[in-house]
Amino acid sequence: MKKGSIKYYLTAVLSVLFVITTIAVVVFNTGWVSSKSNEYFLQNTNHKTEKCLSVPYMNQSDEYPTGCEIVSAAMVLQYYQYDIPVNQLIDCYLDKQEIWSSGGKLYGGNPNEVFVGDPRNSNSYGCYAPVITNMLNQVLTNHTAKTLNNISLEKLANDYISKGQPVLVWVTIDMKSSYEGTKIYQQDGSTFQWIAPEHCMVFIGYDEESYYFNDPYQNHGVVQYPKELVQQRYQEMQQQAVIVTPN
């Protein structure tokens, strides 16, 4: 074989080896691999690619001990390039009502209508999906927020996460079992049974066995839980969610 032919042959072999090595690294990588500026894909051991969105993270614990709903909403706003401070959301756009005690009873608003208490107060409670939807729609210009009810997490993952849209969901703190908390008396004489420990997080991803969330509680960051456990806690909190979609 001529000298030039040998050089050409060696170059070709090295090129093939480089391609094979690159493919092997991608196929057998078991970590999150960045694909776009706001999307990550998980290569698991079964070589099945799943999805996780890169949503900006915010911690609630220092300033907003009961404000998981507003802080989670602020994360979604930042994901869609709306830079609105949490304090501004609370002071200007959040419907809220203070709580007070009288005759041994706790009085306050309905969490489907207002935030019960103040997100900056550790003795406050929280709110449900319609309140956050209303708050978001006051600041969104190119998007619309919508409350979703009784839609499984699997369907949320397929319909929204897979398309690059994070979802606000109501579950429990650290996926603990829920229980009947304080009974809140309304001004019209009716009562509302608070379910504790209520929590709101940003649903950002999934793989074959788990769901992933941005959890604002105590600076948890990105957390993952088994799908069956999350679905159970989500059902205990009435399967409520909020989605933000482009106009």
Residues 116-136 have a mean pLDDT of 97
CA distance 142 to 35: 25
Q: What are phi and psi of 161, to 5 degrees?
A: -60, -45
Weakest-pLDDT range from 14-18, 68-72, 78-82: 14-18
Could you tell me which residues come within 8 angstroms of residue 37 by beta carbon, excluding any fewer than 6 positions away? Answer: 54
pLDDT bin (cut points 50, 70, 90) of residue 7 is very low
Is the predicted pLDDT of residue 15 greater than 70, yes or no?
no
pLDDT, mean over the chain: 85
Distances (CA, A) of 95 to 70, 83, 202: 11, 20, 21
Residue-wise burial string across 159-192, b where 16 or more C-beta atoms lie within 10 A, e elsewhere: ebbeeebbbbbbbbbebeebeeeeebbeeeeeeb
Is the predicted pLDDT of residue 26 greater than 70, yes or no?
no
Residues 125-143 have a mean pLDDT of 98
Is the predicted pLDDT of residue 11 greater than 80, yes or no?
no
Q: pTM of whole model > 0.85?
A: no
8 Å CB contact between 99 and 110: no
Residue 188 is predicted with a pLDDT of 85
- H runs (alpha helix) in 3-67: 3-28
Taken in order 168, 173, 178, 184, the sign of the CA dihedral is: negative
Residue 61 is predicted with a pLDDT of 87
Task: Write down how long the chain is.
Answer: 247
Residue 187 is predicted with a pLDDT of 82
Two structure tokens written together for 158: 């397929």
Residue 62 is predicted with a pLDDT of 86
Percent of the chain whose predicted confidence (pLDDT) is above 90: 77
Distances (CA, A) of 116 to 164, 207, 215: 32, 35, 21
Q: What is the C-alpha radius of gyration for the chain, rounded to an integer number of angstroms?
A: 23
79-113 pLDDT, tens digit each? 999 999 999 999 999 999 999 999 889 999 999 99
Query: For residue 180, how many C-alpha atoms fall within 13 Å in the half-sphere facing its CB?
Result: 5
Percent of the chain whose predicted confidence (pLDDT) is above 70: 80
Count the neighbouring beta carbons within 10 Å of the beta carbon of residue 198.
Answer: 22
30-60 pLDDT, tens digit each? 344 333 344 444 434 343 548 999 999 999 9
Q: Domains of the chain (ranges plus CATH)? A: 57-246 (3.90.70.10)
Residues 133-147 have a mean pLDDT of 98
Weakest-pLDDT range from 8-12, 127-131, 221-225, 240-244: 8-12
